[in-house]
Structure 1
């Protein structure tokens, strides 16, 4: 008897791609921890340069390099792309720095509250209505941040900056009529002059990563792949998976970051952290339930409209 080949549906392929992307992002602290001895700004410089080479190679194979120039061909496009580049640069740098500084727990908190920050941005910028359950989720997340501020006597600025910078990045990307790979290629292209300046300055001071040994350089070279691969996988998933499902898959990223911080790096996890993270998890559960309810309502409305359009009663 012949073995029947396993055929996966587009939806299943999309979910698997999303899981793959979020797994790479979630485990990336273990990757960047290996170069904690290199200044974060220099790691970011290498990540930028090698990412550009990887993305440029992908687009060259696809014959789409010209789209990068088109994405920057007017002052308005250039300005918008430069702003996106600034936001993602801040986000990348702070994440790399947090991992090296032993504050991955706080970075994971930032990515946990990111969906709720996005909800607030949607309300403020686009006037999107929020359900009472969504307001409750936002209130719980806000309470968690306030609790950490009071309990630790210091604001969780890393978490807030990561969440806000990526939330604003998403807002800017929403206004761009450019595919994700082309967009990120343009963004890192704008960052490259600064990245090269950082590399040259570090080399001039004699502290360049180029002299840190073959293992360090190999890790930095791979940072281009670590940056590019999950984005490509996530882009593939976004075209095939409902946003509700994709939103839930994304929680895998901060969960793995959190696991790395507490169980692998042994970072401090106080009682204040336990209460705050508990509130965040409750908030996310409420938010996820609300998103599922919206998704079901939208599908019922679509089915009803389809039935009505065919005249079936």
Structure 2
């Protein structure tokens, strides 16, 4: 029970931090998204490198980088997660936190679809219904609002492929995040240096918020990795909806983003799909006991 309680606190902490992303990155809304992403990568790498030294995992992480196949997959995953981060940062700056939260509501369903296509995982009837309802929700936005929710679809698809690659790559979360950050860091450092030379650097006006973006990246991922070792999948699956729920609540009541009836109807289809999806996961876990 002690391990479960500890895992529950860690998991809740991770998803609560992710749920606060919309509010946090609003602090950096007047900083170009490219620059925020660059600092996020740099400071995340410094934090993770320190943790590698403290935990004694630096040598094993460097050894992973000498495995060409694994390094190739992590290079691809670093590109995917960087694009995911950039789109989210940009969405917050454009006051599209609600649509960004939709992306994370869709992520579990996108993962199911990718698992079916690339891993041959079978969908049960409830999962087919949940995917169909989510598709109706997206189509409703296209018809009612006259636009494709590309931010939500991009975030969920990029994260889905990222998860697919990491699932097939036998690397622990700390080493994986460190290597991904190392691979992208040279570009990030070069870009920040260029900004300094051009006099377009915003670090002087937002030092702590930019440094904090690294903490906001590394801490929840590490909390989640620890929680995943202590909690059953059913509990993790339930906690998964905490982050986008907090994001949409903060977007409506704190950031005052519009939430018209048409958008609410779209979300209702997707939430119904997620409810059915959760029931299917619960039944599957129960049948394995």
The TM tier, using the shorter chain, reads over 0.9
Cα distance in 2, alignment partners of residues 64 and 288 from structure 1: 36
* TM-score, length-scaled by structure 2: 0.98
The alignment partner of 1:140 has SS state of helix
The alignment partner of 2:66 has SS state of coil
Out of 92, 107, 110, the position equivalent to 1:114 is 107
8 Å CA contact 1:71, 1:183 repeated in 2: no
Please, what is the CA RMSD of the aligned residues?
A: 1.0
Correspondence for 2:169:
176
Residue 26 of structure 1 pairs with residue 16 of structure 2: no
Write out aligned runs for 1:1-313 (5 A): 9-211=2-204, 213=205, 216-299=206-289
Structure 1 residue 67: deviation in Å?
2.1
Structure 1 residue 75: deviation in Å?
2.3
8 Å CA contact 1:72, 1:81 repeated in 2: no
Cα distance in 2, alignment partners of residues 181 and 108 from structure 1: 25
- Measured against aligned partners, the alpha-carbon deviations of 1:129-186 in whole angstroms (never above 9, x if no partner) come to 1111110000000110111011111100000000000000000001111100110000
Cα distance in 1, alignment partners of residues 263 and 8 from structure 2: 31
Cα distance in 2, alignment partners of residues 201 and 29 from structure 1: 28
Larger CA Rg, structure 1 vs 2: 1
Cα distance in 1, alignment partners of residues 56 and 68 from structure 2: 25
Cα distance in 2, alignment partners of residues 203 and 166 from structure 1: 31
Which 4+ stretches in 1 moved above 2 angstroms? none
8 Å CA contact 2:203, 2:210 repeated in 1: no
Aligned residues: 289
Cα distance in 2, alignment partners of residues 276 and 70 from structure 1: 47
Cα distance in 1, alignment partners of residues 67 and 2 from structure 2: 40
Structure 1 residue 265: deviation in Å?
0.7
Structure 1 residue 57: deviation in Å?
0.2
